[in-house]
Chains A and B, each alone.
Chain A
Amino acid sequence: MENLLITILLTSIPILLAGLGELVTEKSGVLNLGVEGMMLCGAVAALGSVLIFGNPYIGILFGAVAGILISTVFSFFTITLMTNQVATGLGLTIFATALTGLIGEPFVGKTAASLPKLEIIFLSDIPYLGKILFSNDILVYFAIFLIFFIHFGFQNTKIGIIIRAVGDNHDSAHSIGYSVKLVRWMSTSFGGMCAGMGGAYIPLALTPHWSEGMTAGKGWIALALVVFASWMPIRLLIGALIFGGITILQFVAQARGWDVPSQFLNMLPYLATILALALISFKLRHNNYAPACLGKHFLGNK
Chain B
Amino acid sequence: MYKNFLKIITFLSILVSPFLYTSAYAKTKVGFVYLTTPGDHGWTYAHELGKQMVKKEFGNDVEISIVENVPEGPDATRVIRELAKQGNQIIFTTSFGYMEPTLKVAKEFPNVKFEHMTGYKRTKNVATGNIRFYEGRYVQGVVAGLMTKTNKIGYIGAYPISEVIMGINAFAQGLRSVNKKATISVIWANTWYDPVKEADAAKVHIAEGADILAQHTDSPAMLQIAEKNGALGFGQSTDMGAFAPKAQLFASVNNWGPYYIKKIKQLKDGKWNTGDGPDHWAGNTWGGLSTNMLTLSSFSNMPSDVAKKAQEAHDGIKSGKLKIFAGPLKTNDGKEIIGAGKTLDDGALWGMNYYLEGVTGKVPK
Contacts and interface: CB of A to CB of B under 8 A. Distances in A.
Are A and B interaction partners?
Answer: yes
Interface of A: 3-4, 7, 11, 105, 108-111, 114, 202, 206-209, 211-212, 214, 216, 247-248, 251-252, 254-257, 259, 261-263, 266
Interface string B155-193: 000001000000000000000000000000111101001
Contact of B187 (A202, A247, A255, A263): A255
7 contacts: A3-B206, A7-B207, A111-B224, A114-B228, A211-B195, A214-B195, A261-B364
B202 to A, nearest CB: 9
A202 B190 contact: no
B194 A216 contact: yes
Interface stretch (B34-42, B75-83, B92-100, B118-126): B34-42
Given A11-B200, A262-B364, 5 more contacts: A108-B40, A109-B45, A202-B196, A254-B185, A255-B210
Contact of B41 (A3, A109, A206, A254): A109
A160 to B, nearest CB: 34
B317 interface: no
Given A11-B200, A214-B196, A252 B208 contact: yes
B185 A257 contact: yes
B225 interface: yes
A4 B221 CA distance: 18
Given A108-B39, A212-B69, A255-B154, A247 B364 contact: no
Contacts of B38: 109
Nearest to A104: B39
Given A114-B228, A207-B224, A255-B154, A263 B362 contact: no
Contacts of B220: 109, 111, 209
A109 B38 CA distance: 8
Contact of A263 (B69, B228, B364): B364
B69 A248 contact: no
A122 B335 CA distance: 55
A254 B203 CA distance: 13
Nearest to A212: B69
Nearest to A14: B196
A212 B199 CA distance: 15
A109 B201 CA distance: 19
Q: Report the interface size class on chain B.
A: 35 or more
Contact of A207 (B40, B187, B206, B225): B225
B190 A109 contact: no
Contacts of A263: 190, 364
Nearest to A249: B204
A271 to B, nearest CB: 15
B196 A207 contact: yes
Given A208-B224, A209-B219, A256 B208 contact: yes
A268 to B, nearest CB: 12
Contact of B185 (A208, A247, A256): A256
A206 B198 CA distance: 11
Contact of A211 (B194, B204, B207): B194
B69 A109 contact: no
B182 to A, nearest CB: 15
Nearest to A106: B39
B315 to A, nearest CB: 32
A257 B200 CA distance: 17
A105 B38 CA distance: 10
B205 interface: yes
Contacts of A206: 196, 199-200
B3 interface: no
Nearest to B244: A111
